[in-house]
Amino acid sequence: MKILIVDDFSTMRRIIKNLLRDLGFTNTSEADDGKTAFPILQSGDFDFLVTDWNMPGMTGIELLKAVRADPKLSSLPVLMVTAEAKRDQIVEAATAGVNGYVVKPFTAAALKEKIEKIFERLEAG
Amino acid sequence: MELDSQPFGSVLKEKAQLVLGGLEQGNVGTAVQELLHINDAKTNSRYRQIGKITRGLHNAIGNLEFSNGERAGPKRDVQSRVGYVINLTQDAANRTMDLAEEATPIAAELGTASNALREDGRKLANRELSADEFRELYKKMADSLIFSEEKSNQLHVNLTDIVVTQGYQDLSGQVLLKIVNMLNATEGDLVNLLAMAANLQDVSCIAEPDPAVESWVLGR
């Protein structure tokens, strides 16, 4: 399971990487913006994307839409981890095809639960 | 000729020629007419500049706080955001210390349990255990290991939570960036204001009028 973590704050990337390692996911890569993340996704075989929303170059929602629009990446599971808690943003992400949404600040349990739920649903087909 | 859109400098140049021309031809009426046009252009230009400055001032002041607190501009925004960052970082520091303080006795308990077990092992090796104590040993070991496992799990939870708590840096960092952007915007507004005010002085003689220009225009 190869996972890409995207957030413009390195401390947040480190926290998410730490929690993923706790869940047994040790094969993780990082990017600090949607702009740098997209080519990384296109060139690697990633199984999961965790991304922030607010990033200076390409936002998380733009990255999500780009991923869904790319035939090679369109079915990539995406979890959004963001400080944005407004209803219309959550709806916009859901409409764009996000698989899960976690609002910062989150607990370790909350993040783990969301990730497990995404994989449950994917296995169920 | 559109007085409204032509810069005053070029109007002045154009009309000054006509004033001179009129005077040279002995046509005072024309000369005075063109002087009046120059005056109108100056006034319009001044009004335009004042309009620009008023709008600029309105924007910049709109970004500051009115004394009756009517509008929450960046100053109030900055204050509330700085307050948010202080509270957020304080809470994170306290939570981290709480988790660490909880973990310290747990680590000590684990040490104590291991020590007790080691002591039992030593007694066993030295045949210092009574028959009853010997029978109890297995149960003691099992209990001790369960205890260690539970406490280790608790430590793991605490350490993970300490890591998660450091997420305050991301949240406070985002807020601080917003504050910096707001301050840059306000600074930009004020710098524009200064530039416009300087321009107005040039064009409309609101500052020191140039006595040479004044006497020439008034025909002294």
Determine the distance in angstroms separating the CA of B51 from the nearest CA of chain A, rounded to an integer. Answer: 36
Q: How many CB pairs under 8 A join A and B?
A: 42
Contact A40, A83 (CB under 8 A): no
Tell me, yes or no, if A104 comes closer than 8 A to chain B by beta carbon. yes
Contact A105 B168 (CB under 8 A): yes
Query: Range with the lowest mean pLDDT among A68-82, A101-115, B125-139, B192-206?
Result: B192-206
Chain A residues with CB-CB distance to B167 below 8 A: 11-12, 15, 104-106
Query: Range with the lowest mean pLDDT among A4-8, A97-101, B92-96, B199-203?
Result: B199-203
Task: Give the pLDDT of residue B209.
Answer: 55
First to last CA, chain A: 18
Handedness of CA B80, B83, B85, B91 (dihedral sign): negative
Handedness of CA B169, B170, B171, B177 (dihedral sign): positive
Chain A residues with CB-CB distance to B161 below 8 A: 107-108
Contact A11 B161 (CB under 8 A): no
Task: Give the pLDDT of residue B62.
Answer: 61
R_g (Cα) of chain A, nearest Å: 13
Task: Give the pLDDT of residue B68.
Answer: 46
Task: Give the pLDDT of residue B3.
Answer: 43
Helix (H) / strand (E) element for A112: namely helix A108-124
Determine the distance in angstroms separating the CA of A71 from the nearest CA of chain B, rounded to an integer. Answer: 33
For B174, half-sphere exposure in the C-beta direction (CA atoms, 13 angstrom radius) is: 21
| Model confidence pLDDT, tens digit, residues A28-55 | 999 999 999 999 999 989 999 999 999 9
Task: Give the pLDDT of residue B40.
Answer: 87
Which residue matches tokens 């530039």?
A: B195
Tell me, yes or no, if A26 comes closer than 8 A to chain B by beta carbon. no
Tell me, yes or no, if A16 comes closer than 8 A to chain B by beta carbon. no
Q: What DSSP string runs through chain B?
A: --TTTS-HHHHHHHHHHHHHHHHHTT-HHHHHHHHHHHHHHHHHHHHHHHHHHHHHHHHHHHTS--TT--S--HHHHHHHHHHHHHHHHHHHHHHHHHHHHHHHHHHHHHHHHHHHHHHHHHHHHTT---HHHHHHHHHHHHHHHHHHHHHHHHHHHHHHHHHHHTTHHHHHHHHHHHHHHHHHHHHHHHHHHHHHHHHHHHHH-SSS--HHHHHHHTT-
In this structure, chain B runs to a length of 220
Tell which residue, A94, A107, A23, has the closest CA to residue A61.
A94
pLDDT along chain B (220 residues), means of 10: 63 89 91 89 80 72 51 70 92 93 94 92 89 88 94 96 95 90 80 73 58 64
Task: Give the pLDDT of residue B215.
Answer: 67
Secondary structure tally for chain A: helices H, strands E: 5, 5
Chain A residues with CB-CB distance to B152 below 8 A: none
